[in-house]
Amino acid sequence: MMQPAITIAGTRVKPGQQTTISVPVARLYTHTEMAMPVHVVHGRREGPRLFVSGAIHGDEIIGTEIIRRLMKLKRLRSIRGTLLAVPVVNVYGFLQHSRYSPDRRDLNRFFPGSEKGSLTSQLAGTVMEEVIQGCTHGIDLHAGSNHRANLPQIRAAIDDPETLRLAKAFKVPVIINARLREGSLRHAAAELGIPTLLYEAGEALRFDEVAIRAGLRGVMSVMQALGMLTAKQSPASDIDPLIADTTSWVRAPISGILRMKVPLGGRVAKNSKIGEIADPFGDEEVEIRSPVSGIVIGRLNLPLVHRGDAVIHIAHLDRLKGIEPIIEEFREEITEDR
Ligand SMILES: [Zn+2]
């Protein structure tokens, strides 16, 4: 069936139309108008309405690049349903290379937002009203913050069967069963009954080709799982992801200079060595050992640490067998994808 036209921020989009709408957000104090661009691909045929959002944290620019590549795809012209893609949600933070809003708030703690609230809360409210409401599914794209890089992973509330199905469809090596945090976009979307995935990959303010390609491929695979794209239009993959219920950060036991011994995606056994920290002269040196068994899903790239700094993020897995083949397969698939 042909779907009806939709209206976003006062602009009507007809079925079969692809367009970019500038959604007005709060002005800067210079009196400069600000807007959040929303790409709309409104298919002719009825189907799901999917939102894909990037840079809710203004320095997490990998999602912005994933969306840019996504919008180039000619096959979007024939989708079923509707795609709403917002490459830069936190337009203020993006401008300042900052995770936060100009009022120093974390946008991803202010959903669903309010018209009468702070600047951050107003932005959250606009995103909800113009984009999220009326969607049936969502994908929110993030990257590691503060010199930390993440292995491509999905975080989702997988107790919900539809969310789990889509999380698996994303075809990254690891799914983290992540509870919903109050104020996050994911939480606000879940309150409206919209299954939403959070994709985490790479590092803030950096491009990482594996993270970008895995994200693009993941969005397309989810669109296929939703029936928006056909199987022929979407990349094939044999990845059967590992699922972890718990993750933990290992912290620096002393202040000093860190030498990390395990890569992203590496497997660690309980008590195995993951790195060393030494003072600048190497007189005092302390080994860091993993308190748990699992897979490295995030790590600090900056080797200068204070005692207590989070250096490595491990998804707990009891069975270490099978980790390496999945990571290898994933890397091969991503390198071959063109
Ligand atoms: Zn983030």
CA distances 270 to 150, 277, 289, Å, are 21, 19, 8
Tell me the residue length of the chain. Answer: 338
**Residue 94 CA to ligand 1 centre (angstroms):** 12
Last residue in a domain, options 217, 242, 267: 242
Look at residue 32 and tell me if it is in a domain: yes
Q: Pick from 135, 127, 149, 152: which is nearest to 206 by CA?
A: 149
Are 134 and 282 members of one domain? no
Q: Alpha-carbon dihedral of residues 337, 136, 65, 106, nearest 10 degrees? A: -140
**Residue 125 CA to ligand 1 centre (angstroms):** 18
Rounded to 5°, angle at Cα 204 from 203 and 208 = 45
**Residue 145 CA to ligand 1 centre (angstroms):** 7
pLDDT given at position 96: 94
Are 196 and 285 members of one domain? no
- CATH code of 265's domain: 2.40.50.100
Look at residue 69 and tell me if it is in a domain: yes
Structural domain including 292 reads: 246-336
**Residue 225 CA to ligand 1 centre (angstroms):** 25
Q: Cis peptide leading into 112, omega within 30 of 0?
A: yes
What protein residues have CB closer than 5 angstroms to ion ligand 1? Answer: 57, 60, 142
**Residue 245 CA to ligand 1 centre (angstroms):** 20
Are 61 and 178 members of one domain? yes
Q: What is the largest CA-CA distance in the chain?
A: 73
pLDDT given at position 318: 85
**Residue 172 CA to ligand 1 centre (angstroms):** 18
Give me the amino acid identity at 97.
H
pLDDT given at position 3: 95
Exposed/middle/buried for residue 281 (C-beta within 10 Å: 0-12, 13-18, 19+): exposed
**Residue 182 CA to ligand 1 centre (angstroms):** 15
pLDDT given at position 221: 97
Give the SS3 label for residue 192: coil
Look at residue 34 and tell me if it is in a domain: yes
pTM beyond 0.95, yes or no: yes
Using a pLDDT cut of 70, give the percent of the chain over it: 99
Last residue in a domain, options 242, 259, 287: 242
**Residue 179 CA to ligand 1 centre (angstroms):** 15
Mean pLDDT of 203-221: 97
Give pLDDT tens digits for 64-113.
Answer: 999 999 999 999 999 999 999 999 999 999 999 999 999 999 999 999 99
pLDDT given at position 19: 97
**Residue 228 CA to ligand 1 centre (angstroms):** 26
Residue 338 has pLDDT above 80, yes or no: no
**Residue 25 CA to ligand 1 centre (angstroms):** 20
Are 285 and 226 members of one domain? no
Mean pLDDT of 281-305: 95
Look at residue 35 and tell me if it is in a domain: yes
**Residue 1 CA to ligand 1 centre (angstroms):** 37
pLDDT given at position 282: 82
Give the integer Cα–Cα distance in Å for 334 and 331. 5
Residue 316 has pLDDT above 70, yes or no: yes
**Residue 100 CA to ligand 1 centre (angstroms):** 10
Are 67 and 180 members of one domain? yes
Give pLDDT tens digits for 229-262.
Answer: 998 888 889 999 999 999 999 999 999 999 999 9
- CATH code of 97's domain: 3.40.630.10
- Residue predicted with more confidence, 114 or 321: 114
Going through the chain in order, the beta strands assigned E by DSSP cover 6-8, 11-13, 17-25, 34-42, 45-54, 80-86, 137-144, 148-156, 174-177, 196-203, 242-244, 247-251, 256-260, 267-268, 273-278, 285-289, 294-300, 304-305, 310-316
Q: Pick from 142, 155, 119, 132: which is nearest to 29 by CA?
A: 119
Are 221 and 90 members of one domain? yes
**Residue 111 CA to ligand 1 centre (angstroms):** 14
Are 223 and 123 members of one domain? yes
pLDDT given at position 129: 97
pLDDT given at position 133: 96
CA distances 318 to 246, 268, 322, Å, are 11, 11, 11
Are 252 and 271 members of one domain? yes
pLDDT given at position 337: 67
**Residue 56 CA to ligand 1 centre (angstroms):** 7
**Residue 74 CA to ligand 1 centre (angstroms):** 29
Are 180 and 36 members of one domain? yes
With b for 16 or more beta-carbon neighbours within 10 A and e for fewer, the 167-184 pattern comes to: bbbbbbbbbbbbebeebb
**187 strand-pairing partners:** none
pLDDT given at position 234: 86
**Residue 60 CA to ligand 1 centre (angstroms):** 6
Give the integer Cα–Cα distance in Å for 183 and 181. 6
Number of domain units in the chain: 2
Last residue in a domain, options 194, 226, 242: 242
Mean pLDDT of 31-42: 97
Are 232 and 259 members of one domain? no
Mean pLDDT of 147-155: 97
Are 258 and 210 members of one domain? no
Look at residue 1 and tell me if it is in a domain: no
- Tokens representing 201? 């990959």
Residue 49 has pLDDT above 80, yes or no: yes
Give the integer Cα–Cα distance in Å for 63 and 185. 15
Exposed/middle/buried for residue 165 (C-beta within 10 Å: 0-12, 13-18, 19+): middle
Are 21 and 116 members of one domain? yes
Q: State the DSSP string of 298-331.
A: EEE---EE-TT-EEEEEEE-S--TTHHHHHHHHH
- Tokens representing 90? 């936190």
pLDDT given at position 52: 98
**Residue 261 CA to ligand 1 centre (angstroms):** 26
